[in-house]
Structure 1
């Protein structure tokens, strides 16, 4: 039987916003998100793509689901924020009474009981959303919905948001996302770092909060000489409480490189460690080889020596 792990709200947010050519939510074996709250709570509002797991007083996995093939299996209730709640809940605490169903009461540990059922169908870890629906929706209210079912073409066209690199402070996105005023409002973005040649009328006149580094995505391009300016720009805005969005055309090479340079500077950490973090946030990053070498040079500036071996095929 699989074990359980807590999943932070930021992690679920980033999982929901992965994309290749289209949103990964359209992939049938990518995410299985389960809501184990009462029907009343689920109908009032739930996280996008979530299915309600509770049926007829029991937690049931649909026969059509092959959980062995699902990359992320995540379950949430209203408030669970610990794995210390006993898996074997006492009978009086189990969230299957008609009173709970009618009144919409949140039962502590419901996510754990739901995860226990899921774990019987997979060898992979089952994730429990830390803080449940209440904590997630407090940070990402724009991902609440009453929609119960989405057609594949709707998921294919789902408008992904920038991924969250530093919670509530730094995001990494695409040019399309950077020009979306609704996303700015939802994420409270106040400052931008544009790491590509193109700009847009959206940013005209915003000199104070907009840094434009005009570079192409070429291994011969010099990003290294801009690292110090960009990291100081980001530091200044983050210290003022502003949310910063770093972006390039696709956010996978130039923008990603600048975010890596910032994390290495901010946390005084190696390229290897920063890379692992950014890859967890955005799983299709691929800075070109010239930029990777420049990040190694930046690592030497920060640490006084090269720490990361980029001959590893991982980079």
Structure 2
């Protein structure tokens, strides 16, 4: 079980973490965002569960939920928030990145680095990247990164069903200003201030 800390009150995980009552209490979780179709949302006293019923497919409309989830995360002042999907690699990181763009004033590239610093194995599908690019354009009027296509595997070596997904590569857009607001804090700046983003393995 792996729970990654994104901010002091925002955590990212797979579907096993919210089933651990002791962990939820330790992290003072009062909001669980469940970005799965089939995993159950546990009922804990004083904990609200928000469901985002989206599959991990490039065609799934995860972007339709960016604003709603970001607002709920931002509005949760009672305690911590846990955002999870099945394994914490695609749907939940995308939702967290949308929140960081909207309420922490960072660009898509910065949001990706922030999340990846705490959870290095995040792997968003190509459709979610495109929806995040559209969201960045909506928020800032331009994109600060391009998503280059993933390198294809040799045709003579078909990928087994269990192989890791091929991940698009982020490329900075030349001469595009970074639109960070003063309250934005990336993992690098947190380290400079003496606070390290952590991944808690249970």
Q: TM-score, normalised by structure 1?
A: 0.46
The question of whether the paired residues in 2 share the 8 Å contact of 1:279 and 1:285 is answered with yes
Give the 5 Å matches for 1:24-103: none
SS in 2 for 1:249: coil
- 1:201 CA displacement: 5.7
**How far does the alpha carbon of each residue in 1:230-274 deviate from its partner, in whole angstroms, 9 at most, with x for none?**
11111110xx23200000000000011111111111112111011
**How far does the alpha carbon of each residue in 1:143-199 deviate from its partner, in whole angstroms, 9 at most, with x for none?**
xxxxxxxxxxxxxxxxx44110012x1000110011110110111111111111023
- 1:293 CA displacement: 0.5
In structure 2, the CA distance between the partners of 1:201 and 1:254, relative to structure 1 (3 Å rule), is: closer
Unaligned runs of 5+ residues in structure 2 are 150-167, 171-202
Q: Does 1:190 align with 2:30?
A: yes
In structure 2, the CA distance between the partners of 1:225 and 1:201, relative to structure 1 (3 Å rule), is: closer
The question of whether the paired residues in 2 share the 8 Å contact of 1:268 and 1:303 is answered with no
Q: Does 1:163 align with 2:18?
A: no
Q: Does 1:314 align with 2:169?
A: yes
The question of whether the paired residues in 2 share the 8 Å contact of 1:174 and 1:251 is answered with yes
Aligned mates of 2:82, 2:41 — CA distance in 1: 17
The root-mean-square deviation of aligned C-alpha atoms, in Å, is: 1.9
Aligned mates of 2:87, 2:23 — CA distance in 1: 16
Q: Does 1:217 align with 2:72?
A: no
The structure with more helix, counted as a fraction of residues: 1
Q: Which runs of 4+ in 1 moved over 3 A?
A: 203-206
- 1:284 CA displacement: 0.3
Number of residues of Structure 1 aligned to a counterpart in Structure 2: 152
The question of whether the paired residues in 1 share the 8 Å contact of 2:3 and 2:13 is answered with yes
SS in 1 for 2:146: coil
**How far does the alpha carbon of each residue in 1:101-132 deviate from its partner, in whole angstroms, 9 at most, with x for none?**
xxxxxxxxxxxxxxxxxxxxxxxxxxxxxxxx
Unaligned runs of 5+ residues in structure 1 are 1-159
Aligned mates of 2:10, 2:141 — CA distance in 1: 26
Aligned mates of 1:289, 1:233 — CA distance in 2: 25
- 1:310 CA displacement: 1.3
- 1:205 CA displacement: 9.2
Report the structure number with the largest CA radius of gyration. Answer: 1
Q: Does 1:230 align with 2:69?
A: yes
Q: Does 1:242 align with 2:82?
A: no
- 1:203 CA displacement: 3.3
Q: Does 1:174 align with 2:11?
A: no
Aligned mates of 1:176, 1:303 — CA distance in 2: 35
Aligned mates of 1:181, 1:287 — CA distance in 2: 28
